[in-house]
Amino acid sequence: MNFPSQGGNQSAGPGVSGLQGVMEGFMESPRDNRPWFQLLSALVLGIALIVGTIITTQSIDYIKTFNTSLLNVTGEAQMNVTSDQVKWTGSFFVNAQPTQLQPAYAQMSKDAAAVRAFLAGKGVPAADVTISPVNMNQIFANCAQQPGICGKFDIAGYRLNQTVAVQSNDVQGITKIAGDTTPLIDQGVAFSTQNLAYYYTKLASLRAKLIAQATGEAQRRAQQIAAATGRQIGQLVSVQEEPLQLTPVNSPNVSNGGRYDTSTIQKQLTAIVQASFRLPQ
């Protein structure tokens, strides 16, 4: 194939002049250069197909990635339980003058024996009873009532006290005994109840059951929400359980870190889960 020569410019170099010749020849003789035109058209078409394929592939990936959204719901399950263990804490004390510590300690020993006898008489096993060693606290003089007579840190006497702890599975029985310690008072023992704490020891065995029920409740809620918009939920993606809540029955008091109430015999055990379900487009 012949191309017109470019005799007027010898300094352009063989590469530039050759390209110019091809382009000018192509423009001047389209019929003679039809193969070049077809080649160029095929090249443009090929590039367009490649670009279109890339765009389509990316679009498909985008659709596959974002064709669903997540529906997050809360589910909970509750169960009433009865405490199966109790811890009763009480104490008794003796006040003593600074010079009467020895008789005071002897009195504490007698009082401890009276407490043990009282509990044994009520059917409480000795193995369930723990009495702490004697604790002694100083009692300072009330100098406001004796101006000029006592100093700020003058010791007026001592208080000796011991703590009694009863831990038992007989919840009702210990509760009843704790409610009437009059026989000890009648014997001169300065005894008082400090606390009754009630525990439920089978939480671990109920956890899985309650979590399953709470997850089922979450699924029902998700179905109701989706149905309200004319859609259906997909598969379960994740479940996150929160700490168990052990509260008095019908109590609204819950905590993000969980709650363990010990003030009541009857309790309510609540399991809460956060569940995520696929929501197809």
- Which has the closest alpha carbon to 78: 259, 244, 277? 244
Can you read off the two tokens belonging to residue 143? 């100098």
pLDDT (tens digit, 9 = 90+) per residue, 170-210?
Answer: 999 999 999 999 999 999 999 999 999 999 999 989 999 99
Mean pLDDT taken over the chain? 82
* Exposure string for 150-189, b = 16+ CB within 10 A, e = fewer: beeeeeebbebbbebbbbbebbeebbebbeebeebeeeeb
pLDDT (tens digit, 9 = 90+) per residue, 91-111?
Answer: 999 999 989 999 999 999 999
Question: How would you classify residue 21: left for phi > 0, otherwise alpha for psi between -120 and 50, otherwise beta?
Answer: alpha
Give the pLDDT band of residue 257 (cuts 50, 70, 90): confident
Q: Where are the beta strands (DSSP E) in the chain?
A: 68-82, 85-96, 129-131, 135-140, 155-168, 190-199, 236-241, 245-248, 259-260, 266-280
Task: Of 25-29, 126-130, 253-257, give the lowest mean pLDDT range.
Answer: 25-29
The yes-or-no verdict on residue 9 having pLDDT over 90 is no
The yes-or-no verdict on residue 260 having pLDDT over 90 is yes
Please answer whether residues 238 and 218 qualify as being in contact, where contact means their C-beta atoms are separated by less than 8 angstroms: no
Residue whose token pair is 């510590």: 101
The yes-or-no verdict on residue 63 having pLDDT over 60 is no
Helices (H), 32-162: 34-66, 101-121
C-alpha angle 94-165-80 in degrees, rounded to nearest 5: 140
pLDDT (tens digit, 9 = 90+) per residue, 157-180?
Answer: 999 999 999 999 999 999 999 999
Give the pLDDT band of residue 11 (cuts 50, 70, 90): very low
Give the pLDDT band of residue 56 (cuts 50, 70, 90): very low
Task: Of 19-23, 40-44, 144-148, 187-191, give the lowest mean pLDDT range.
Answer: 19-23
Can you read off the two tokens belonging to residue 144? 């406001």
Q: At what angle do helices 14-28 and 34-66 cross, to 10 degrees?
A: 100
The yes-or-no verdict on residue 23 having pLDDT over 90 is no
Q: What is the pLDDT of residue 39?
A: 67
| Cut 0.75: pTM above it | no
Select the more confidently predicted residue: 154 or 206: 206
Residue whose token pair is 């060693």: 133
